[in-house]
Structures are given as structure tokens and as C-alpha cells.
Amino acid sequence: MTFRNKILLSIYGVVVSLLVITFFIINYWTRARFEETFSRELSAASSAVRVQEKLQSAELIRSCALIAESPRLRAVAELGDENTAAQLLKEMNRTTLTQAVVLTNRRGTPLVQLLRGQHERWDIPSWQTVQGALRLVSSTDIASIDGRIYRIVSVPVVIETELVGTLTIGFEMTQGDIAALKHLTNSDVALACRGTPVLSTMEAGETSALLAAAGPAPSGAVPGDSGASPVKLTAGSETYLVTTLRPGRGDDTNGAVYLIVKPLSSEVRQAMGSILGTFAVVSLIFLVLTTVIGLFISRGMARPISELVRGATEIARGNYDYAIAVQGGDELSLLAQRFMAMSSSLKEKISELGRVNGDLVERNRDLDETLRQLRSAQEDLLRSERLAATGKMTAQLAHEVNNPIHNIQSCLKTALGRLPEGTKGRDLIDVAYEEVNRLSRLSAQMLTLYRSSLVEEEMQTVNLNEILAEVVTLTQGEIQNRNIELRTAIDTALPAVRGSRDRLTQVMLNLISNALDAMPAGGVLTLQASGAGGSVKLTVQDTGVGIPKENINRIFDAFFTTKGKVSGVGLGLSVCYGIVSQHRGTLEVRSTAGEGSAFTVTLPAGD
């Protein structure tokens, strides 16, 4: 055997040994990388599912809370009549497209249970969501009802601050929900309830085998639960990486669990299959070329490999514009080209992701603003409905009692005129006469409330500067008597508005009167008026006691008052709100307890 053959044989031996070692290293490295990559993906998938669950829970709670705020639902829950509750829930079931609806009383006893529009009975009081709603805590969960899985949400039904019942709605989970989670996580997803597969993107037998491989765990825990690292499970000839997530409240009361699965063995086999073909071809070429020009090949391979390593290092540092200077048409050159193409694609994806994130932030901001405007419009609508209903009721009441009051008032006045001063019992008649006068004034206020909420006023062009000047003149004496400083900031040429001069004067007098009552020890009263953007703003601001936060949303309700002494029945602001609404304007309030309040009337300008 010649020396060349020995050298070639030695080279062959070293090359073959290196190829074998390289194969095992690649196999081990590939499996390790797949495990590491899948572990990261499963952790990210678990976080994504958890965030998705939280968003869905928040949306369900908001939707159910809006339904629970319905006056009819509150009244039915407080009444506790099962027939009325069944009729209302069937109407609601048709409009909300829910599959399960439950209404309980304040003790958690179900009044009505509807499942897919039909009356059903199942165990409700033991649900943790219902128990939480009885403690005024809204929550969501996943429950099994009649062999099907439902995503449920329970919220308390409250009138003012008193709990009158709970409302629970449920939506059936379908294969489409699991498919959406698979699309979100890029992983197979299964939902199991108490060890039994319910929904899955895998074959039924594969899911059952995987659950059997997981086996029972201490205290009902599941491998990979609660954010722990994913674990490997072997079912038959397949090895999986699995992480789990408990939906809903996150406890074990419902026995439901998500399994997020990556098939490790099949992915490794698929990857190694392509690697083996390439590895065999490269090995053969390498052996042939090593025999012919070993030193030349080693020298030729070292250079492009060094360039690839340098390029990978630069790209790892974030330099995606780095150009890998590898010439030729061999595999290393192709790898360099693909590597550079991957770098350019990665740069584009990162830029696109930044743009998408920016768009998402902007859309979220728009959505928040839309929700705020919707909530404000809903509050205005509810307040207008309450004012209209109260105005109609008080008008009917005032009409019924007005004539008897006038008769009694006339009789008492005649009696006082016939009884001389000092007559025994005259003081009692005098007191009765004053009380009847007060009742007459109350009746007039009720009629005023009715006219401000329902009766249309004749509109004409009104000069606001004249109204403000008249109001200041009328209240100047009382302002000085109460040791209050008046400050004005009124534009001299306010735009005219269409409306009733007397009604607008009444609004300003009521607002100033309330401001004076809020400053019993004196203070500063500021009257501001300005016009811009096709509207006029009139602001009455005081430095008085302010309005408590819990009362700020009730001050425009009829018969509500926060005054410490008997000076009215709480109709002033309701009347003002009705008058301003008739003028297609708004009446807003800003107040801080102990610092003062500011009422702003906004009216549309018009000739």
C-alpha cells in the first residue's frame, strides 16, 4: 500500500468518522433545537391563549353587564316571579343569540334556566361564577351542561346598591373556537373536561392517548400547568411537547383544561428526513473531492464558512444590511444567498410588525374613544327618559291636587280675614295657610318640570348678552348680602341663539341660586360666556362645598337634592336640564367635593 493510499485511507477514515459524528450531532442538535423552539412557541402560545381568554372574558362581562343594567331585567329579578322572568329571558335569548341563560334571585336560587331556548334544569348554585356574582363580582368560566361545553359569564343584577339577583349567559364552544386557537397558537389544541376530550384539532384517538399518557396528577394538577415549562409525553410511538392552561377562573372546579401540543417526534423525523438526503449527497461529494484535491477543498471551504459566520454575527447584532461576500455557484454560495434573502425578509417582517403594532395602537385608541362616546350618549338617553317620565307623572299629580289646594288656600285665607288678631287658634290656621302655600308652590314646580320635559316652547331669536345682564342685575343684591365676590368674563358680542328668553333666564337664575346656596360662608362666583365653533358656552362656577363623587350622576334626577336645609324638592336642576335639552343644548357639571362646582350650558348658535 502506497503512502498516498494510506493518506487517502486515513483521510477516508477521518472523514467517515467525522460524517458519522456529524450526523449524530445534527440529530441531537436538531432534536434539542426543536425542543427549545417548541418550548418557546408553546410558552408564547400559552400566553397568547391566556390573553385571548382574558379579552374574551372582559368582553363577555361588559356585554352581560349591559344586559343586567336593563330596567326590565332589574324589575323582574326584584319581583322574583318565574313566569315573568321566563318571558323576559326568552325575548332576550332571541336578541342576544345565547345558548344558555340563567336568572337567579338574591339568594342564588334559579328563577329561570333556558338551554337553547328551552326550559332545562341543572346545578347552578354550585357554580363559582354565580357565587361570585352574589358577592357583586363578575366572572367567566367554562362549564359542561348536558354533555356540551359552554363559555359562561355571571354578573350581579343591582338596583342602586342592592343586589336583587344574578344573570348568567352562556355560549356553546364549537370546533371553530378550537380551530381559531390553533390558528392563533400555530399548534394543535385540545379541550378536555375531567380527563375526557371534548374538542380537539387532533384525531380523537390521538387526543385520548395523549390524555392517558398524562395520567392523574397530585391535587388535580396537569403537567405543564400554571405557566410551567412544557413537558414531554409519549403516547404510542409519538413524543409530544405539551403545555396546559386552565380556562375561565383558572381553578379546578370545572375540570376543564386546554392542551397545547407540538408533535416533537414527527417534526424531528420530517426535518431529519430532508437533512439525511442532503447529508448523504454532501458526504459523497465531500469524499470524492477529498480524494482528488483535499487541501484545495479545505482551503476553499474555510473562506466562505468564515464569511458566513461573520455575516451571521453581523445579522445577530441587528445589521440586516450586511452583504455576505461569497462568490461562486456552490452550496455555500447558495446558502449565503438564501441567508441574505432571509435577512432582508426578516428586516421587512420586523418593519411590517412595527407598522401593524402602530395601527393596532391607533385602532385601540379609536375604539376607546368610541366606547366613551357611546357610554356618554347612553347616559344622556337614560337621563332624558327618566326626566320625561317623571315630568309626566308629576304633571298628572299636580293637576289632580291643584284644585283642592286652591280651595283649601281660599278657605284658610277667608278664615284668617274673619278672625281678629290674637284669637285663640289663629296661629294654627296661619301655619296651615303657609303650608298650603308651600304645597301650591310645589305643584307649580311640578308643572314647570312637565313643561320643561314634554311641552315644546315657541322659539325665537334671543340675545344672551341681555339675558346675562338682566340675571346679574337681579342677583346683585343677594350676592352682596351673602359676602360673595362676583367675577365675570363675558364676550360683549355673543352669537344669538334660537330659544325662549324666559326659559333661558330661568336656567341661569337657577344655576346662580344653587351656586349661592353652595357658598354659605361666602366665596367667589364666576360667570363666563363665550361663543366659538357655532355654539355658545355659559358657565356658572362657584367655590362652595362641591358635589360628592357618588352623587354626581344623580343631580339631574327629579326630587334629588343635596342641600342640608329644606329649600326645595330637588326639581331645579331637572327643570334646567329639560329646558336646555329643548334648546338642543347640553348641561354638564364638573365638581370636586370641598373645592366647588362648575355648570356649563352649551347652546347651538342660530339667527
Q: Do domains 69-172 and 457-607 have the same CATH topology?
A: no
Per-residue confidence (pLDDT) for residue 258, from 0 to 100:
85
DSSP H or E segment with residue 538:
strand 535-542
Per-residue confidence (pLDDT) for residue 569, from 0 to 100:
42
Per-residue confidence (pLDDT) for residue 602, from 0 to 100:
93
Task: Map residue 80 onto helix, strand or coil.
Answer: coil
- Name 589's Cβ contacts closer than 8 Å, sequence gap at least 6: 547, 552, 555, 597, 598, 599, 600
Tell me if the domain spanning 457-607 has CATH number 3.40.50.720: no
Task: Work out whether the CA dihedral 63, 68, 72, 77 comes out positive or negative.
Answer: positive
Per-residue confidence (pLDDT) for residue 9, from 0 to 100:
64
Would you say 447 and 453 are in contact if contact means Cβ atoms under 8 Å apart?
no
Tell me if the domain spanning 69-172 has CATH number 3.30.450.20: yes
Q: Is the pLDDT of residue 540 over 90?
A: yes
DSSP H or E segment with residue 455:
none
Q: Hey, where are the domains in the chain?
A: 69-172, 457-607
Global pTM reads 0.42
449-491 pLDDT per residue, tens: 555 544 455 678 889 999 999 888 888 888 888 899 999 999 9
Would you say 444 and 571 are in contact if contact means Cβ atoms under 8 Å apart?
no
Q: Is the pLDDT of residue 225 over 50?
A: no
Cell of 565: 336645609
Percent of the chain with pLDDT over 90: 7
Q: Report how far residue 394's alpha carbon sits from residue 546's, in angstroms, rounded to the nearest whole number.
A: 28
Would you say 484 and 516 are in contact if contact means Cβ atoms under 8 Å apart?
yes
Lowest mean per-residue pLDDT among 173-187, 199-213, 386-400, 546-560 = 386-400
Q: Report how far residue 201's alpha carbon sits from residue 213's, in angstroms, rounded to the nearest whole number.
A: 18
Q: Report how far residue 82's alpha carbon sits from residue 112's, in angstroms, rounded to the nearest whole number.
A: 6
Helices (H), 249-330: 264-316
- Name 396's Cβ contacts closer than 8 Å, sequence gap at least 6: none
Q: Is the pLDDT of residue 8 over 70?
A: no
Q: Report how far residue 412's alpha carbon sits from residue 414's, in angstroms, rounded to the nearest whole number.
A: 5
250 DSSP assignment: S
Q: How far does CA 411 lie from the centroid of its chain?
A: 62
Per-residue confidence (pLDDT) for residue 293, from 0 to 100:
65
Strand order in the sheet with 484-490: 484-490, 523-532, 535-542, 596-604, 586-592
Is residue 238 classed exposed, middle or buried when 0-12, 13-18 and 19+ CB atoms within 10 A define those classes?
middle
Strand order in the sheet with 256-263: 196-200, 188-193, 256-263, 238-245, 231-235
58-105 pLDDT per residue, tens: 888 898 888 888 888 888 888 888 888 888 888 887 777 788 888 888
pLDDT band for 3, please (50, 70, 90 cuts).
Answer: very low
257-302 pLDDT per residue, tens: 888 888 888 877 777 777 777 878 877 887 777 776 655 544 555 5
Mean pLDDT score, 153-181 = 89
421-453 pLDDT per residue, tens: 777 777 778 778 777 776 676 666 556 655 554
Per-residue confidence (pLDDT) for residue 80, from 0 to 100:
83
Q: Which of 40-44, 392-396, 402-406 has the highest mean pLDDT?
A: 40-44
CA distances from 503 to 449, 497, 580 (A): 12, 13, 9
pLDDT band for 525, please (50, 70, 90 cuts).
Answer: very high
Would you say 217 and 255 are in contact if contact means Cβ atoms under 8 Å apart?
no
